Amino acid sequence: MSSQQKWNLVSYDVRDPKRLRRVAKLLEGYGERVQYSLFRVRATTERLEKLRWELSELMAIEDDLLVIPLCDRCATKVDDHSRGDRSDWGDPPPSFEIF
């Protein structure tokens, strides 16, 4: 298993308000909220597996979870409409100006 940290987007749809609060609270301990039900998490493979296990203990079968791994370059391309400071996501790719 790799000890290198990688970016992940974690999205969820939890149907019960009580479970929803518990899932959001857990994710706040692992990453940063980007949108209402979307978090960015920088984690090792082992830490991400632990997060998935903890979420499986909180979530019910009717709830949904989506974890999307991102490369560093893709992490810089997250839409500017997202909330929060993304300055630590890495340098943006070079841009070109056409005249």
Half-sphere exposure in the Cβ direction for 50 (13 Å, CA): 10
Residue 80: per-residue pLDDT: 45
Tell me the one-letter amino acid at 52: R
Q: Write the DSSP symbol of residue 98.
A: -
pLDDT digits (tens, 9 = 90+) for 62-92: 999 999 999 887 777 665 445 556 566 565 5
85 with 68: CB under 8 angstroms?
A: no
User: Taking the alpha carbons of 58, 60, 64, 68 in that order, is the dihedral positive or negative?
Assistant: positive
Strands 38-43, 6-13: parallel, antiparallel or unpaired by DSSP?
antiparallel
pLDDT digits (tens, 9 = 90+) for 20-72: 999 999 999 999 888 889 999 999 999 999 999 999 999 999 999 999 999 88
What CATH architecture applies to the domain 6-74? 2-Layer Sandwich (3.30)
CA distances from 30 to 50, 62, 97 (A): 10, 23, 38
The domain limits of the chain are 6-74
Whole-structure pTM value: 0.74
Mean pLDDT score, 4-13 = 94
Residues annotated as binding site for Mg(2+)?
13
More confidently predicted of 3 and 32: 32
Q: What are the phi and psi torsion angles at 36 (to 5°)?
A: -50, -50
Residues annotated as binding site?
13
CA distance 88 to 37: 21
